[in-house]
Amino acid sequence: MSKIYKNQIFIPMTALLILLLFNLIADPSFFKITMGLNSAGNPVLSGYLMTVLDNGSELAILAIGMTLVTAASGGQDISVGAAIAIAGSTLLRVLCGTNTRPDTLRTPIFVAFLISCLVAMAFGAFNGVLVAIFKIQPMVATLILYTAGRSIAAWINNNELPIISDPKFSYYGGFIPGIPIPTPVFIAAAMVILITLVLKFTNLGLYTQAVGINESSSRLNGLNPVFIKWLTFVILGLCVAVAALIKVSRLSSINYSVIAKDIEMDAILAVALGGNALSGGKFNMAASVIGAFVIQLLTTTLFKFNVPSDALPAYKAVVVIMLVVFSAPVVRDRMSVLFKKLSAESRKEAA
């Protein structure tokens, strides 16, 4: 029993079960998945659970990068939302050129995606330089891009909102004809498999944890902490570009001030919910990914109960506070002391 309790996946799993149980009691139709036809006439699966999987994909992808950044630098990147705006804007700019209503795409989608990856990784690298070389706290260093990001995104496209009519572009955020499961789920799964392979076959995981736990001793052991911290930010940049592709593809357009709004909060929350220490060090990737879907489940549940989207942050904030209070070391110590006392007393009574 104590083994399960100590396992990191225990925390997000418990949250997941509690939320699912709540939904089961409140309204069992939450679990209904139906096969229907979407507007393009393709057979698609729909239902609240599919919405969670679909919309949680970007969050899961971001959580991967955020976990690495958190582990290595002991801080979080709060510019991911703004960076998604930049990457999405670049993507559209490359696809459309200066024409805002193109009939045909100027470049293949793959090429445009690669370019937006490069741009997002460059911005990640910028954050990384500030954090790793200039030793600025990650949250404050990324504050720069947080303030400027959406402005830069608007500037890239001259503040115009290109709309892509090519149906192929909408596959990434919607459905591929003939496949009833939304594409973002596959993209997220691919990213998760990729990062699992990378963590399994390279030393990336070990090195990031070493740097996060103790920077100077990792340097004395021959690691290069500056490079590793920088690398995690570049990887987060890649995750941002993938998330941006999905986000932009969903709309076939972009709205600079609204796209991926407040997603940084959700991404950080996913990492925290995964039981990872926000002060860096050890991490568990699977727990973070599950955490991301739990957050999305929470959002969908709140939406289902007609909570307006503007009021959503208030509820989430309460969840965050409860979460951090219960995972705070001080509280945990107190609780375990209390539990010991209680069990000792009950043993006494039994005796």
Residue numbers at the binding site for another protein (CB under 8 A)? 75-76, 130, 134-137, 139-141, 143-148, 150-152, 154-155, 159, 262, 265, 268, 272, 278-279, 308, 310-318, 320-321, 324-325, 328-331
Q: Which is nearer to another protein, 92 or 192 (CB)?
A: 92
Give every CB contact of residue 197 below 8 A, 6+ residues apart in sequence.
none
Q: Which is nearer to another protein, 171 or 315 (CB)?
A: 315
Q: Which is nearer to another protein, 181 or 302 (CB)?
A: 302
Q: How far apart are CA 250 and CA 182, in angstroms?
A: 11
- CB distance 232 to 211 below 8 Å: no
Query: What count of Cα atoms within 13 Å lies in the side-chain half-sphere of residue 168?
Result: 8
Tell me how far, at minimum, the Cβ of 134 lies from another protein, in Å: 4
- CB distance 245 to 184 below 8 Å: no
Q: Which is nearer to another protein, 109 or 153 (CB)?
A: 153
Listed residue (230, 188, 197) closest to 54, CA to CA: 188
SS3 131: helix
Q: Which two tokens stand for residue 236?
A: 């987060």
Q: Which is nearer to another protein, 310 or 349 (CB)?
A: 310
State how far Cα 127 lies from the chain centre: 18
Q: Which is nearer to another protein, 131 or 195 (CB)?
A: 131
Tell me how far, at minimum, the Cβ of 314 lies from another protein, in Å: 2
Tell me how far, at minimum, the Cβ of 236 lies from another protein, in Å: 17
Q: How far apart are CA 144 and CA 123, in angstroms?
A: 11
Q: Is 178 left (phi over 0), alpha (psi -120 to 50) or beta?
A: left
Tell me how far, at minimum, the Cβ of 225 lies from another protein, in Å: 16
**Which pairing describes strands 34-37 and 43-46: parallel, antiparallel, or unpaired?**
antiparallel
- Distance from first CA to last CA of the chain, Å, rounded? 23
Q: Which is nearer to another protein, 93 or 150 (CB)?
A: 150
Tell me how far, at minimum, the Cβ of 229 lies from another protein, in Å: 15
Tell me how far, at minimum, the Cβ of 141 lies from another protein, in Å: 7
Tell me how far, at minimum, the Cβ of 226 lies from another protein, in Å: 13
